[in-house]
């Protein structure tokens, strides 16, 4: 296990370096940053001065090394727009998004896995068909619309939940429900298909042949194998929720990292954009490592292949 | 004779499966009796209902299947197969079951120790985990598993197939069952391993006074272990009796025809196998008449009514509308006219296919920074096949048979050495030209045909690709190939899913031959087929060989198939050819101990003791000396240090320091 973890972390490190290069090049390749910062009215001298101040006159390679060295020391730069430390900006908004992502993912999994298992036990039953219909709805409805519907119901009509902001835990209920509704179809289908597959497998027949009680067969023998793909996808989804919940954050006016990235892009605030891309990407990579380790813990075959 | 009360007594067992086309009668009124310590073999082709019978006894039928029975008595218990809880109580306790696929029958995510003890702990809660574990260790070593304590913490994927099946057997015996049901327990295993497993089952049966029901399609297995045999066809028992009665004096026309299809030790490349045309009928809404009558050579108008049971001897009974004596006088083994005699050129100027010093390596790597490993699949192969000859290539899984086939087809270029066709290296032959020299017939006709192409399209495709002939000529050619391969014209528009396995394999052969290649490489062409269909396909290949003057390479793990087809035989072990010779020489006077092992029966394997229980060496770290020395009963010191090379005459050569 130790060697496996070290190998996975080594791979992750390599991917992180690659990601940092891509994040850097992506932002650089959007055009001349000095012109973008100075705006259309800036004179040639002003642009040149901007270029000098921000080190944009150096070679790309030097710029990357300088940026990477500062990043390693925890210096993600300063926002062009607000002149605030980028790290501080990210540390303010990341927890909001993280809370949202964790709660919506947990909610989604808690509903979809048991539902998927129940569907798989009797495929074609009424419960199964209702769940599948719901999952089609979940995939078809855009999350901003779901968010607005929830606001209408709980915020406006019933007036039981706050419709925006991050003042209390209650503020997170509707955004979390919106995102859970978004992830529910994927997990339902995965756990249902996985479970149907596993239940028809030979080792389930072996377990039944031993005379084990139904519950033991279902939980101990089937579920553990069936949720392997769910674990992989859940961690990736978690990454998406961290980086891509912009829509829901703006519907509910949550100052999360999605909103931060969105406003930074609008203002051509490149240090922030670059830093958000880097941070989200690194979290993504780490989540994949976590997924690999979780899968390895659940499925011993992965650790000792050949 | 004074029979004690039987261990198992089943009367009139039926299983019906609900399908969209209507109820399917998979099992129709089967009676079984089994004494303690006896082995009953239920033998039949696929679709005969043999597996459904065993699953019904275990209460493990699929959700859409329902079982009914006159009665099922197990010891002193009377069971109702439809009453929930009755069979469940005995299942895994006094009745245990092992299955066909040891690779998938164990849960990949639980340790073997946990899987071994959980059943016992459930049925006997008073037992401590330590006591259960002690029993697991005891049984594992009784089942010939070395180092049992260490196995307990291992997972299934860390074990070979044979070892997994041993663990499965130990697992089934944990609760000291009285009855063990084994559904094709050795079908997925290599021959040497399967012989070991059968020997083990017989040994355990004696030690634990176990009743054994063995479900199989393999007459070799039946011959090794059966006390009594039930031959099932289309959900009914058609013949039952002792092993001697059924195998040596079969009475029912079906049993007789089926046995004539089995390649035996008398089979040779010159003769033909028996012939049993047709397939098992659909069991949706069958009438009460004999279901075999459509394929039976002796069928008459009276067969449409229910066939009565008849005595053919003491305890030997058949179900047929004809009297036993009448069958005996009327029945003629349905062997069609002999294959066109064909004498291969014994001393040709040039072999049609030559393999020279072929070595094939694969590089394995895990992950982005994983260690590289080098796997040598072929370790220097020299082989030549003359024009018109059939070379049989036999070996266990992992011996490199299929790798060699890919090299001979020119699909994979070997790391070293060369494959020559008519003296020309295949690597220098253009791709389209190559396709007209050598063609494959693959194992699984279910996955090797494109499901969206009709039979005619599939057979015509090579002609289209190579632009041969006009549309009308192609159509005629396709019809001719279909005719030669025994495909009725009406099947031209059918899709593979509408055809049986045997028909699909005929389509595969027709499309391989439509370009008129000189060489056909058949990789396990019949191992997915029933024995009666196998005989049809093998006979077809014999005919086509004579028709087209084909050179054939026949790859199989089944010695019977090899024996029935091959002029010359090469035995492969661990990436090498260890023995090669003419069919008769090799089968009658094997020289390599591995060939002897392949040819030997259970008794021989059991007698040779622990040495033969080993498996092939690790291909990532091949041993220095002879690769078989670890399993060899004749190994001497020299074998560990010095790797023997193939030596001998063109008729018979062997790679061994101590040949027989």
Please provide the size of chain B in residues.
Answer: 660
Mean pLDDT lowest among A104-118, B34-48, B67-81: B67-81
pLDDT of residue A132: 94
pLDDT in tens, B562-601: 988 999 999 999 999 999 999 888 988 999 989 988 887 5
The verdict on a CB contact (< 8 Å) between A14 and B368 is: yes
pLDDT bin (cut points 50, 70, 90) of residue B229 is very high
Cross-sheet strand order for the sheet of B416-421: B372-385, B353-365, B416-421, B424-425
CB atoms within 10 A of CB B277: 14
Q: How far is CA A242 from the centre of its chain?
A: 4
Give the nearest chain A residue to B175 (CA atoms).
A210
Report percent pLDDT > 90 for chain B: 47
Tokens read off for B171: 């697992």
pLDDT bin (cut points 50, 70, 90) of residue B240 is very high
Mean pLDDT lowest among A244-258, B43-57, B222-236, B578-592: A244-258
Q: What radius of gyration do chain A's Cα atoms show?
A: 24
Over range B8-27, report the average pLDDT. Answer: 91
pLDDT of residue B369: 58
Q: What radius of gyration do chain B's Cα atoms show?
A: 26
B85 touches chain A (CB under 8 A): no
Residues 6+ apart with CB under 8 A from A72: none
Over range B132-138, report the average pLDDT. Answer: 94
Domains and CATH numbers, chain B: 8-94+175-330 (3.40.50.300), 108-174 (no CATH), 353-437+517-610 (3.40.50.300)
Return mean pLDDT, chain B: 87
What does DSSP say about strands B228-233 and B309-313: parallel, antiparallel, or unpaired? unpaired
pLDDT of residue A6: 87
Query: What is the dihedral sign for C-alpha B116, B176, B215, B62?
Result: negative
Counts for chain B of helices (H) and strands (E), in that order? 22, 25
What does DSSP say about strands B179-183 and B309-313: parallel, antiparallel, or unpaired? unpaired
Q: How far is CA B331 from the centre of its chain?
A: 28
Mean pLDDT lowest among B251-255, B330-334, B593-597, B625-629: B330-334
pLDDT of A185 > 90? The answer is yes
**For an interface test with B, which of A5, A194, A203, A294 has the most B Cβ atoms less than 10 Å from its Cβ?**
A203
pLDDT of B366 > 70? The answer is no
B97 touches chain A (CB under 8 A): yes
The verdict on a CB contact (< 8 Å) between A211 and B90 is: yes
B298 touches chain A (CB under 8 A): no
B159 touches chain A (CB under 8 A): no
Of the candidate CATH numbers 3.40.50.2000, 1.10.3080.10, 1.10.3720.10, 3.30.70.270, the domain formed by A86-302 belongs to: 1.10.3720.10
Over range B378-383, report the average pLDDT. Answer: 92
SS3 content of chain B, % helix, strand, coil (to 5): 35, 25, 40
Mean pLDDT lowest among B153-157, B271-275, B561-565, B600-604: B600-604
Over range A134-140, report the average pLDDT. Answer: 91
pLDDT bin (cut points 50, 70, 90) of residue B177 is very high
Q: Count chain A–chain B contacts defined by CB atoms under 8 A.
A: 90
Residues 6+ apart with CB under 8 A from B43: B50, B215, B216, B217, B219, B222, B229, B230, B231, B232
**Which conformational region is residue B422 in: left (phi greater than 0), alpha (psi within -120 to 50 degrees), or beta?**
left
Give the nearest chain A residue to B153 (CA atoms).
A300
The verdict on a CB contact (< 8 Å) between B368 and A304 is: no
Q: How far is CA B339 from the centre of its chain?
A: 25
pLDDT of residue B629: 87
Give the gap in angstroms from C-alpha B109 to the nearest C-alpha of chain A: 5
Q: Are B176 and B138 in contact (CB under 8 A)?
A: no
Please provide the size of chain A in residues.
Answer: 306
Q: What angle do CA B481, B486, B487 make, to 5 degrees?
A: 75
pLDDT of B282 > 90? The answer is no
Of B402 and B365, more confident: B402
The DSSP string of B489-527 is GGGGG--GGGS-HHHHHHHHHHHHHTT--SEEEEESTTT
Return mean pLDDT, chain A: 87
pLDDT of B153 > 60? The answer is yes
Whole-angstrom distance, CA of residue B642 vs CA of residue A54: 72
Tokens read off for A91: 């540390």
Tokens read off for A101: 């992502």
pLDDT in tens, B308-361: 999 998 999 999 999 988 888 888 866 655 655 556 566 667 899 999 999 999
Mean pLDDT lowest among A53-57, A67-71, B422-426, B534-538: A53-57
pLDDT of residue B462: 94
Over range B26-45, report the average pLDDT. Answer: 93
pLDDT of A281 > 80? The answer is yes
The verdict on a CB contact (< 8 Å) between A10 and B88 is: no
pLDDT in tens, B464-500: 999 999 999 999 999 999 998 989 888 999 998 888 8
> What residues does each domain of chain A span?
2-72, 86-302
Helix, strand or coil for residue A290? helix
Contacts of A305 in chain B (CB under 8 A): 366
Q: Which of A279, A302, A211, A267 has the alpha carbon at shortest distance from A5?
A: A302
Report percent pLDDT > 70 for chain A: 98
Q: Which of B340, B270, B347, B353 has the alpha carbon at shortest distance from B583?
A: B270
pLDDT bin (cut points 50, 70, 90) of residue B455 is very high
The verdict on a CB contact (< 8 Å) between A211 and B119 is: yes
Q: Are B588 and B599 in contact (CB under 8 A)?
A: no
Axis-axis angle for helices A257-266, A270-298 (nearest 10): 150
Over range B604-632, report the average pLDDT. Answer: 68
pLDDT of residue B241: 95
The Cβ-side half-sphere exposure at A162, using a 13 Å CA radius, reads: 12
pLDDT in tens, B55-96: 999 888 888 888 988 888 988 888 876 676 778 788 889 999
pLDDT of residue B159: 86
Give the nearest chain A residue to B54 (CA atoms).
A209
**For an interface test with A, which of B99, B105, B156, B164 has the most A Cβ atoms less than 10 Å from its Cβ?**
B105
pLDDT of residue B336: 58
pLDDT of B613 > 80? The answer is no
Tell me which residue has tokens 């009953």: B40
pLDDT of residue B7: 93
Contacts of A207 in chain B (CB under 8 A): 107
Phi, psi of B357 (to 5 degrees): 55, 40
What does DSSP say about strands B390-394 and B95-98: parallel, antiparallel, or unpaired? unpaired
Axis-axis angle for helices A270-298, A86-121 (nearest 10): 40
Whole-angstrom distance, CA of residue A290 vs CA of residue A304: 18
The verdict on a CB contact (< 8 Å) between A10 and B370 is: no
Q: How far is CA B195 from the centre of its chain?
A: 13
pLDDT bin (cut points 50, 70, 90) of residue B119 is very high
The verdict on a CB contact (< 8 Å) between B107 and A203 is: yes
Convert B531-584 into a string of H (helix), E (strand) and C (coil): HHHHHHHHHHHHHHHHHHCCEEEEEECCHHHHHHHCCEEEEEECCEEEEEEEHH
Q: What angle do CA B117, B121, B122 make, to 5 degrees?
A: 120
């Amino acid at each position: 296990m130790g060697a496996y973890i070290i190998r996975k972390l080594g791979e992750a490190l390599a991917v992180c370096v690659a990601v940092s290069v891509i994040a850097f090049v992506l932002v650089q390749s959007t055009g001349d940053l000095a012109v973008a910062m100075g705006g259309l009215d800036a004179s040639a001298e002003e642009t040149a001065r901007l270029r000098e101040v921000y080190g944009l006159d150096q070679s790309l390679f030097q710029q990357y090394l300088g940026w990477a060295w500062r990043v390693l020391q925890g210096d993600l730069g300063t926002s062009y727009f607000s002149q605030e430390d980028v790290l501080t900006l990210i540390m303010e908004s990341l927890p909001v998004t993280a809370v949202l992502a964790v709660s919506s993912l947990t909610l989604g999994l808690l509903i979809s896995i048991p539902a998927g298992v129940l569907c798989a036990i009797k495929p074609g039953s009424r419960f199964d068909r209702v769940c599948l219909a719901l999952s089609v709805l979940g995939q078809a409805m855009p999350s901003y619309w779901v968010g607005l519907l929830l606001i209408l119901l709980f915020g406006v009509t019933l007036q039981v939940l706050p419709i925006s902001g991050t003042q209390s835990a209650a503020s997170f209920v509707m955004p979390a429900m919106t995102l859970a509704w978004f992830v529910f179809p994927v997990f339902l289908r995965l756990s249902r298909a996985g479970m149907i597959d596993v239940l028809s497998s030979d080792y389930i027949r072996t377990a039944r042949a031993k005379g084990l009680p139904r519950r033991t067969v279902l939980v101990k023998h089937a579920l553990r194998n069936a949720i392997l793909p769910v674990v992989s996808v859940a961690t990736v989804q978690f990454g998406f929720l961290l980086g891509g919940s912009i829509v829901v954050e703006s519907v509910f006016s949550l100052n999360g990292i999605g909103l931060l990235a969105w406003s930074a892009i609008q203002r051509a605030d490149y240090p922030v954009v670059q830093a958000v891309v880097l941070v989200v990407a690194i979290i993504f990579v780490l989540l994949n490592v976590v997924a690999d380790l979780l899968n390895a813990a659940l499925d011993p075959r992965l650790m000792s292949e050949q | 004779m004074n029979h004690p009360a039987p261990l198992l007594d089943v009367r009139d067992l039926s299983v019906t499966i609900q399908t969209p086309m209507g109820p399917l009668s998979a099992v129709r009124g089967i009676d079984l009796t089994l004494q303690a310590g006896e082995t009953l073999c239920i033998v039949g082709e696929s679709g005969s209902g043999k597996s459904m019978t065993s699953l019904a006894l275990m209460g493990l039928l699929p959700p859409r299947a329902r079982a009914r029975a006159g009665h099922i008595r197990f010891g002193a218990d009377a069971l109702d197969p439809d009453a929930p809880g009755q069979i469940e109580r005995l299942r895994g306790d006094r009745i245990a079951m092992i299955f066909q696929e040891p690779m998938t029958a164990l849960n990949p995510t639980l340790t073997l120790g946990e899987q071994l003890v959980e059943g016992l702990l459930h049925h006997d809660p008073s037992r401590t985990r330590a006591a259960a574990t002690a029993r697991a260790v005891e049984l594992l070593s009784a089942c010939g598993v070395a180092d049992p304590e260490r196995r307990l913490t291992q997972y299934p994927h860390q074990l070979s197939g044979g070892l997994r099946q041993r663990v499965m057997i130990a697992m089934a015996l944990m609760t000291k069952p009285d009855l063990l049901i084994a559904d094709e327990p050795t079908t997925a295993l290599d021959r040497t391993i399967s012989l070991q497993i059968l020997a083990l089952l017989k040994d355990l049966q004696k030690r634990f006074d176990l009743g054994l029901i063995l479900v199989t399609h393999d007459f070799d297995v039946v011959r090794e272990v059966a006390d009594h045999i039930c031959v099932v066809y289309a959900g009914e028992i058609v013949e039952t009796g002792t092993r001697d009665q059924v195998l040596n004096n079969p009475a029912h026309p079906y049993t007789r025809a089926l046995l004539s299809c089995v390649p035996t030790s008398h089979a040779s490349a010159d003769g033909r196998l028996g012939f049993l045309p047709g397939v098992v009928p659909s069991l949706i809404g069958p009438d009460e008449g004999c279901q075999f009558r459509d394929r039976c050579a002796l069928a008459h108008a009276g067969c449409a009514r229910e066939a009565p049971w008849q005595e053919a001897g003491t305890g030997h009974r058949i179900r047929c509308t004809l009297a036993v004596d009448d069958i005996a006088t009327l029945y003629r083994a349905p062997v069609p006219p002999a294959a066109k005699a064909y004498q291969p050129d014994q001393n040709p100027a040039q072999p049609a296919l030559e393999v020279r010093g072929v070595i094939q390596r694969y590089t394995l790597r895990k992950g982005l920074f994983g260690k590289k490993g080098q796997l040598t699949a072929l370790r220097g192969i020299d082989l030549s096949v003359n024009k018109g000859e059939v070379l049989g290539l036999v070996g266990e899984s992992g011996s490199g048979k299929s790798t060699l086939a890919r090299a001979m087809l020119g699909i994979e270029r070997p790391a070293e050495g060369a494959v020559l066709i008519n003296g020309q290296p295949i690597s220098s032959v253009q791709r389209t030209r190559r396709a007209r020299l050598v063609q494959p017939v693959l194992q699984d006709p279910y996955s090797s045909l494109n499901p969206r192409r009709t039979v005619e399209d599939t057979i015509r495709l090579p002609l289209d690709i190579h632009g041969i002939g006009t549309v009308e000529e192609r159509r005629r050619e396709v019809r001719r190939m279909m005719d030669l391969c025994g495909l009725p014209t009406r099947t031209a528009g059918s899709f593979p899913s509408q055809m049986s396995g045997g028909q699909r394999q005929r389509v595969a052969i027709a499309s391989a031959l439509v370009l008129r290649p000189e060489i056909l490489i058949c990789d396990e062409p019949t191992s997915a087929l029933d024995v009666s269909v196998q005989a049809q396909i093998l006979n077809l290949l014999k005919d086509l060989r004579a028709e087209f003057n084909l050179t054939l390479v026949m790859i199989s793990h089944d010695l019977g198939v090899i024996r029935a087809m091959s002029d010359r035989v090469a035995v492969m072990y661990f990436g090498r050819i260890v023995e090669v010779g003419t069919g008769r020489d090799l089968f009658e006077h094997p020289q390599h101990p591995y060939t002897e092992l392949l040819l030997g029966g259970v008794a021989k394997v059991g007698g040779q003791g622990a040495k033969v229980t080993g498996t092939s060496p690790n291909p990532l770290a091949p041993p220095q000396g002879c690769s078989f020395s670890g399993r060899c009963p004749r190994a001497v010191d020299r074998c560990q240090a010095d790797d023997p090379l193939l030596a001998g005459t063109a008729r018979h050569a062997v790679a061994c320091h101590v040949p027989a």
